[in-house]
Amino acid sequence: MPYLFEQHSLEIAIVGGGIAGAVLAVGLSTRGLKVKVYERARGFSEVGAGIGFTPNAEWAMKDIDPRIHEAFKKVASRNASDWFTWINSYDVHGSTNGDEDELIYDMYLGERGFEGCHRAHFLDEVAKLIPAGTVEFRKTLVTVKERGEHEKLLLAFEDGTAAEADVVIGCDGIRSRVRQLVLGESNLAAYPGYTHKYAFRGLIPMNQAVAVLGEEKAGSRYMHLGLGAHALTFPVADGALLNVVAFVNDPKEWPHKDKLIGPCSKQDAVDAFKDFAPATRAIIDLLPDELDRWAIFDTCDNPAPTYVKGRLCLAGDAAHASSPHHGAGAGMGIEDAAALVSLLERVQSELHEETNTKARLIESALVAYDHVRLGRSHWLVESSRFVGELYEWQHGRDAVSIRQEIDWRARKIWSYNIDEMNRQAREDFMRRLGRRNRALA
């Protein structure tokens, strides 16, 4: 009897237990699909500190499982205002008139729009929604073997163990092993590249931040622009902390081959912002004495031509690692998860049909996923790289031009229609099966 008809359920392996992998696991499990998550770390963990989610990401959360959105709101910090403000914070030769920052743009975000939280706090809440026994830790993927259309894929791990699955989804981050397997280890697109920017990150007690910024600025989302550097500040931890990410342009190559974090001193950060306005310099002064230099890598220079190979596919940073300048990378991974959940649920419902093998159903669904996600996510990576340069005046200093670029790019991200994405993906999938009239069922 063919492999399809021996069992009428999918077995899905997710490689990577970060935000994208955890959210995907919740969505698939909620719909009754069999899921296993393989995470190489000892437990759930997220690098970095603060993270924000734009309206499109919140919509995707609700679509996948409303409990995910509730988890986010549980740990999100409400802004003091409903506005996102971009300011010229550069002060060389008094260009910002001393203590006064020059307003570049105020964007209304809506009630509770674009809130921030601590990455680890959000992941901890999402992890609580994953059924017990779903996740295996200390599992570093080595390879995935295709054994034929009527056989499951075979996953081999560094510890000598193996596992089987009908489909493997790589959510294993910017240094994705699954990306190498999909694109080929000799392909430049299988690896991220240095954006020639690095960042200092830190969390500042809110009482200290208020003392130098004031309550309104410390309690809201601000982007501080300037020549050769820029900084983002917003509240996290229920308003108890100010998250600071300070970016610096770097014309050199990243010196550390096997790691994205390098040593530095507090003075390095102070020097990078020495020509900024007093309030911005004061925030940099409040960063912890022990700092790291975080390299910003992305997939812009060598984007993946596809996220799919057979029954393997990529999602989140493994597919489209972007610089953080739009604040939308994690949200883009949640959009990926929404599309995959919708399509794999449809595959599950099609398993009783005897006109297609399970492998063909899966492959058709993944191609539909590829078509609906590739263009948008590539654009995000390119646009995020561009605005990071824009914030440091690498494309000119005209405030009107900067404001226009910020506005249309942000709205293209935030106004994305998740329902329409899923409709298009399902329609594409069903058309490949010759049953277009059932695409919207």
Q: In the predicted model, what is the mean pLDDT of residues 299-311?
A: 98
Is the pLDDT reported for residue 440 higher than 60? no
Q: How many CB atoms lie within 10 A of CB 352?
A: 9
Among 258, 277, 298, identify where a domain stops. 298
Q: What is the CATH number of the domain that holds 377?
A: 3.50.50.60
Higher-confidence position of 214 and 46: 214
pLDDT at residue number 96:
47
Q: How far apart are CA 226 and CA 248, in angstroms?
A: 10
Mean residue pLDDT of the chain comes to: 90
Q: How far apart are CA 413 and CA 377, in angstroms?
A: 10
pLDDT at residue number 302:
97
Q: In the predicted model, what is the mean pLDDT of residues 6-31?
A: 91
pLDDT at residue number 56:
94
Give the domain range for residue 10. Answer: 2-79+115-192+301-433
User: Which pLDDT tens digit goes with each residue over 192-207?
Assistant: 999 999 999 888 999 9
DSSP string, 31-96: TT-EEEEE-SSSS---SSSEEE--HHHHHHHHHH-HHHHHHHHHHPBPPSSSEEEEEE-B-GGGTT
User: Which pLDDT tens digit goes with each residue over 254-269?
Assistant: 998 888 998 888 999 9
Q: Are residues 405 and 328 in the same domain?
A: yes
Is the pLDDT reported for residue 232 higher than 90? yes
pLDDT at residue number 221:
86
Supply the angle between the helices 119-127 and 66-75 in degrees, to the nearest 10.
Answer: 140
DSSP lists the bridge partners of residue 14 as 37, 169
- Report percent pLDDT > 90 for the chain: 74
Q: In the predicted model, what is the mean pLDDT of residues 263-285?
A: 93
Is the pLDDT reported for residue 310 higher than 80? yes
Q: Are residues 383 and 424 in the same domain?
A: yes
Tokens read off for 162: 């193996």
Rounded to 5°, angle at Cα 154 from 372 and 10? 55
Q: Are residues 321 and 178 in the same domain?
A: yes
Q: Are residues 48 and 150 in the same domain?
A: yes
- Overall domain count for the chain: 2
pLDDT at residue number 438:
52
Q: How far is CA 373 from CA 178, 294, 300, 426, in A?
A: 17, 28, 16, 13
pLDDT at residue number 411:
92
Q: Are residues 322 and 384 in the same domain?
A: yes
User: Which pLDDT tens digit goes with each residue over 391-439?
Assistant: 999 999 999 999 999 999 999 999 999 999 999 999 999 999 887 555 4
- Residue 438 in domain: no
Q: What is the CATH number of the domain that holds 214?
A: 3.30.9.30
Q: Are 200 and 269 in contact (CB under 8 A)?
A: yes
Catalytic residue among 119, 177, 179, 201: 201
Q: Are residues 183 and 105 in the same domain?
A: no
Task: Indicate the burial class of 25 (C-beta count within 10 angstroms; 0-12, 13-18, 19 or more).
Answer: buried
User: Which single residue is written with the structure tokens 């990378």?
Assistant: 329
Q: Are residues 186 and 243 in the same domain?
A: no
pLDDT at residue number 5:
38
Q: Are residues 149 and 6 in the same domain?
A: yes
Q: Are residues 185 and 198 in the same domain?
A: no
User: Which pLDDT tens digit goes with each residue over 40-83?
Assistant: 998 876 555 667 788 899 999 999 999 999 999 998 877 666 78
- Residue 350 in domain: yes
User: Which pLDDT tens digit goes with each residue over 349-402?
Assistant: 998 776 788 999 999 999 999 999 999 999 999 999 999 999 999 999 999 999
User: Which pLDDT tens digit goes with each residue over 73-126?
Assistant: 998 877 666 788 999 999 754 554 445 578 999 988 776 667 778 788 899 999
Tokens read off for 75: 């740990």
Is the pLDDT reported for residue 214 higher than 80? yes
- Residue 441 in domain: no
Answer yes or no: pTM beyond 0.85.
Answer: yes
Q: Are residues 90 and 229 in the same domain?
A: yes
Q: Are residues 248 and 392 in the same domain?
A: no
- Residue 440 in domain: no
Q: Are residues 57 and 89 in the same domain?
A: no
pLDDT at residue number 3:
37
Active site residue 201: yes
